Structure 1
Amino acid sequence: MENPWAGEAALVIGGERQVLKLTLGALAELEATLEAGDLIALIERFEGGRFSSRDVLALIVAGLRGGGWRGTAADLLSAEIEGGPVEAARVAGLLLARAFALPSDPRK
């Protein structure tokens, strides 16, 4: 089960529920693979709805790796993602939002 308070999200890939998380190491790896070169540009693309399938795949791979998965993007090329590309894009955006959201004050 994913923990949204820890920045985690879940995605079913190949019939198995995977927990994804953008750790600092996963973010560094993601930044290295981005054509734009920085995370701010990626966040702006998602906020504006101008993200590409490459952006989604890079985020999903980074999130999986942050969750402990040791695969590569090539491993996902033929993988069945429950909910298809729309669900993958939703989870990718959710990962970004959770990675950079300030924690809520439980007293509020």
Structure 2
Amino acid sequence: MANPWAGEVTVVLDGAPHRAKLTLGALAELEAALEVGSLLDLVERFEAGRFSTRDVLALLVAGLRGGGWQGGPADLRSVDIGGGPLEAARVAAELLARAFASPEAR
């Protein structure tokens, strides 16, 4: 379903696959939601393994909204994310990596 060449990742919510992508608008929403100095700070937290569940939730919401999902944080808190918390963190990290990778590196 997701096109990795376009920076997309699949997130499974309540058994249904959804496309997620960190568009420019989604990145701006993410930056505001997390109140980080820059998105580089967030990338560094993920690379160092110092991310929080709040970071994961905000990344997933932003990515899903970038993929066309109309929900918000409260909606995501009430669904089953396929693969559980570990998969949610992996998908969040992959969203960040794909958003900042050159097309050749994808």
Counterpart of 2:11, as a letter, is: L
Equivalent in the alignment of 2:17:
17
Equivalent in the alignment of 1:56:
56
Equivalent in the alignment of 1:97:
97
Identity %: 69
Equivalent in the alignment of 1:67:
67
Instruction: Name the CA distance, whole Å, in 2 between partners of 1:91 and 1:40.
Output: 18
Mind listing any 5+ residue stretches in structure 1 that lack a counterpart? none
Equivalent in the alignment of 1:85:
85
For residue 36 of structure 1, report the CA deviation from its aligned partner: 2.4
Equivalent in the alignment of 1:34:
34
Count of residues in Structure 1 that have an aligned counterpart in Structure 2 = 105
Counterpart of 2:5, as a letter, is: W
SS at match of 1:43: helix
TM-score normalised according to structure 2 size: 0.95
SS at match of 2:2: coil
For residue 5 of structure 1, report the CA deviation from its aligned partner: 0.7
Mind listing any 5+ residue stretches in structure 2 that lack a counterpart? none
TM-score normalised according to structure 1 size: 0.93
SS at match of 1:37: coil
Moved over 6 A (4+): none
Counterpart of 2:56, as a letter, is: V
